Chain A
Amino acid sequence: MTDTASSSGGIRPDALVRPADPASDLEKAALKGRPKVSLLGLGMLSPAAVLLLVFFFAPVVLTTIFSFTNMTSATGISGGAYVLSPNLLRELERSGVDSDTLAALGTESVVVDQESIAAARAAGVEEDFLEEIEDDLLGVDFDSKQDFERALKDLPSHLRRTRDLKLAADHFLVSALNTRFATRAEASDAISALAPDIAPGTRDRILDASYTGWVWTTENFRRLATQPETLRLVLNTFFYVAVTLAFNVLVGLFLAITVFYLPKGTGMVFSVLWLLPRITPVVLYAIMWKWFTWDGGFVASFADLVGLPSFNYMKGSVPTAWTIVILVNGCIGASFGMILFSGALRSIPMQQLWASEVDGASRWQQVRYIILPQMRWPILFVTCYQSMSLLSSYEQIWLTTNGGPGNTTMVWALESFRTALSNYTGNLQYGQGAAMALVLVIVGLVLSIIFLRMFRFGELVEKPKIEF
């Protein structure tokens, strides 16, 4: 039974083994050849790989890292110390820490010893005065700062002005407040000394709060998810991207088709004019828009002339501010779209347009039925590309309305930039800004995956099946 099966089936053990030999030979040959090829390939790829790593991968990784910290310019990016500041005590009191404990932490004592005298001398207090302090008051205990100041006034060569006296007295005050403790243990000892009855939980809480360096936290994301401004930012960003994108595509298409039908010379002049927003340096371009919409600038004067309200159209009202923001970005994007669409238009064989004319199609029908359907790919490309770049671009808004009036034209990218790198109060919140940037990166990634899926890029970039 087994014999017949094996012979009729033709599967003999040796038959299974035999083909392995030439195959392994082939494999050997392939292996022999492979390292050479892959080394060369790696060599050729390495610059690109390094660039990719440094300029694309590293920023995302760093952003991710920063977004899970509470780094600000106050914490710095290296480690910090433990400091009990009066502000911190006030904050702790507000958040429900026992006020007696806090009062204990805030007490000051007067210590007159060689060390404090040396400190006062270094600060430039008069030598005669210091010598008298050393002679009369060294080692004396005072109940309060007032007692100490009174004692100082009794000294023969005391300072005449009360202010100077008070300043001199400050050198002898000792307090846990505003002292930088390098380690947690030192800070803990100091707290225990001042408030011996403190509960360990409260002490740890105070220690955590007093740390000036950065710590790992998910607070940034929690804040983003809960603060009401987030929704406002999201809606603003969506509105900005959608409307600007529509402007880019529609105006770009309109321009490309118009230029396509214009006589060559006129079309050239026209398209170069429309390229100006793209080739003008962005700062100059933004400043020109500022001048244009200034109070008393062209737009305001013109509005005055025709009886419309005359004001700063860029910053004076929300609808005009949005209009300007969209026009500023839209003109740049439209010229980009125009270039791309013009190229695509020129690749449609002239005979097809001739054929449609002979078939009786009017200009409009030609555009509608012959040109637009064949512009699918460039339109999709501009849509994808521009939605990504608009999502992450903020420079034009920053240079024009800067999110104003109020925060009405603020978008996600600009808010992220302001939080992390251009904060008005001066405390740059790297962590919070990075968290916002990370959200943007994730949204961008998700969008690009959706675009790739939706428009089947692979199919679109396939070689054409018809030869023209």
Chain B
Amino acid sequence: MQIVLKDFTKSFDGLTVIDKLNLTINDGEMLALLGPSGCGKSTTLLAISGILRVNGGQILFGDKDVSNLPSQKRNVGVVFQNYALYPHMTAFENIAFPLQVRKTGAAEIEERVREMARLTHIEPYLDRRPGQLSGGQQQRVALARALVRRPDVLLLDEPLANLDAKLRLEMRSEIRRIQLETGITAILVTHDQVEAMSMADRIAIMDHGRIQQIAAPEDMYHRPSNTFVAGFLGNPPIVFLEGKAIGNGAFESASGMRMPLPERLTGLAADQPIVMGVRPEHFGVKGRHTVRGTVSFIEPQGRETHFDLTVAEGEVLRSIQAARTDISLGSEVEWPLDVDKALVFDSEGNRL
């Protein structure tokens, strides 16, 4: 079901945290709301679920305006960060609860709980209480409970934050598999860019209550609309060099380092202040420009190695390369820079 937020506004005690937000989630897609803590992503999710009331604007489920419906009448499924399982009920009773409060018949409850248990692979644990389940199993129970009454939309509030690294990887693909199998419209709230990029069809990146950009993950990574988005995606993050265009398709950084501008932007007027963004994977491997500098930090990661190269006072470029041990700290190197892949932003931070 298509979910539409029209001019959605939310304030707490007179302080507006989200002002006129517009967002459309297409039927059957998984959209990630990505942003740092306090950006309003969880508030948006809770408003969609009906737990928080809206102060302005509309929330539409399909054609139906649900803005003023209580959460009981919205038909949404929510998975909370701490799962919010009922500790005094078994896994079966937890999953059955949404049906039970609707006075569904016992036979149908049994059938649908079993169906959900099959889908989420928790059949052997149905008679256990949450306290006797592992984090991953609790997560699956919470998913099953959210899905059992076939909600219009599945809302996932930081669903992986409480899991250890290995389980997180496993649940990432599990949640995606279940979403694709059920074909349900889903919204994933997360602060973890990897989660958002690996699970979602589209990402809406938020900051200070505003959506900065909505795009498919690949698209967003390669064509960020502004410095915030560029800086938020990518690990290790992008490096920004402030400076200005000096004509003839060249750029000069604040410290005086010069480099060519990407092919597509050679027409920039001289003296226009700009910001160059260089991702680590575009430095140190290939490119038509070379940069000299001193290796000031090395971080081996097994398959690859991360380097920091100090090129001038206060200007550091980051490089990520296939694992190599021939470079030592403090050595002078000259590495290629793929300037055509570099991102260029105007002084307002918008990409050129």
Contacts and interface: CB of A to CB of B under 8 A. Distances in A.
Interface of A: 349, 351-352, 354-362, 365, 369-370, 373-374, 376, 464-466, 468
B97 interface: yes
Given A349-B82, A354-B78, A466-B130, A360 B102 contact: yes
B267 interface: no
Nearest to B74: A358
A465 B87 CA distance: 9
Contacts of B89: 373
Most buried by A among B85, B86, B145: B86
Given A351-B82, A365-B101, A464 B131 contact: yes
Contacts of A464: 87, 131
Contacts of A370: 86
Contacts of B57: none
Nearest to B98: A359
A358 B66 CA distance: 14
Contact of B101 (A349, A360, A376, A466): A360
A351 to B, nearest CB: 4
B331 interface: no
Interface in B86-116: 86-89, 97-98, 100-102
Contact of A374 (B49, B50, B88, B97): B88
Interface string B313-332: 00000000000000000000
Contact of B51 (A358, A361, A374, A465): A358
A22 to B, nearest CB: 41
Given A359-B145, A362-B101, A373-B88, A354 B80 contact: yes
B352 interface: no
A358 B82 contact: no
Interface of B: 46, 49-51, 70-72, 74, 76-78, 80-82, 84-89, 97-98, 100-102, 130-132, 145-146, 149
Contacts of B98: 359-360
Most buried by A among B50, B80, B102: B80
A178 to B, nearest CB: 75
Given A358-B51, A361-B101, A466-B130, A352 B84 contact: yes
A366 to B, nearest CB: 9
Given A351-B80, A351-B84, A359 B130 contact: no
Given A365-B101, A369-B97, A466-B131, A358 B77 contact: yes
Contacts of B70: 357
Contact of A352 (B81, B86, B101): B86
Contacts of A374: 87-88
Contacts of B102: 360
B49 A358 contact: yes
Contact of A358 (B71, B81, B87): B71
A465 B130 CA distance: 9
Nearest to A354: B51
A468 B88 CA distance: 14
Given A360-B102, A369-B101, A354 B88 contact: no
Contacts of A362: 72, 101
Contacts of A465: 131-132
Contacts of A359: 97-98, 101, 145, 149
Given A365-B101, A374-B87, A466-B130, A360 B80 contact: no
Nearest to A465: B131
Contacts of B72: 357-358, 360-362
Nearest to A355: B84
A357 B97 CA distance: 11
Which 8 interchain pairs have the tightest Cβ spacing?
A465-B131, A351-B84, A359-B98, A355-B84, A373-B88, A351-B80, A361-B101, A357-B71
A356 B87 CA distance: 13
A357 B51 contact: yes
A176 B76 CA distance: 100
Contacts of A352: 84-86
Contact of A355 (B50, B78, B100, B132): B78
Contacts of A365: 101
Nearest to A365: B101
A348 to B, nearest CB: 9
A355 B101 contact: no
Given A351-B80, A352-B86, 20 more contacts: A349-B82, A351-B82, A354-B78, A354-B84, A355-B84, A356-B86, A356-B97, A357-B50, A358-B71, A359-B101, A360-B102, A361-B97, A361-B101, A362-B72, A369-B86, A370-B86, A373-B86, A374-B87, A374-B88, A466-B130
B9 to A, nearest CB: 21
A11 B16 CA distance: 81
17 contacts: A351-B81, A351-B82, A354-B46, A354-B78, A355-B86, A355-B145, A356-B86, A358-B51, A358-B74, A358-B76, A358-B146, A359-B98, A359-B101, A359-B149, A360-B101, A361-B101, A376-B88
A349 B130 CA distance: 14
Contacts of B101: 359-362, 365, 369
Given A349-B84, A351-B84, A352-B84, A358 B50 contact: yes
Contact of B87 (A354, A357, A369, A466): A466
Contacts of B71: 354, 357-358
Contacts of B87: 374, 464, 466
Contacts of B86: 352, 355-356, 369-370, 373
Contacts of B74: 358
Contacts of A357: 50-51, 70-72
A369 B94 CA distance: 11
A356 B46 CA distance: 14
A378 to B, nearest CB: 14
A372 to B, nearest CB: 10
A352 B149 CA distance: 18
B246 to A, nearest CB: 55
Contacts of B131: 464-466
A370 B86 CA distance: 7
Nearest to B131: A465
A352 B84 CA distance: 5
Most buried by A among B74, B82, B131: B82
Contacts of A358: 49-51, 71-72, 74, 76-78, 146
Contact of A468 (B46, B76, B77, B82): B82
A374 B85 CA distance: 12
A464 B76 CA distance: 30
B135 to A, nearest CB: 10
A351 B88 CA distance: 15
B189 to A, nearest CB: 13
A12 B74 CA distance: 78
A359 B149 CA distance: 9
B24 to A, nearest CB: 22
A462 B145 CA distance: 28
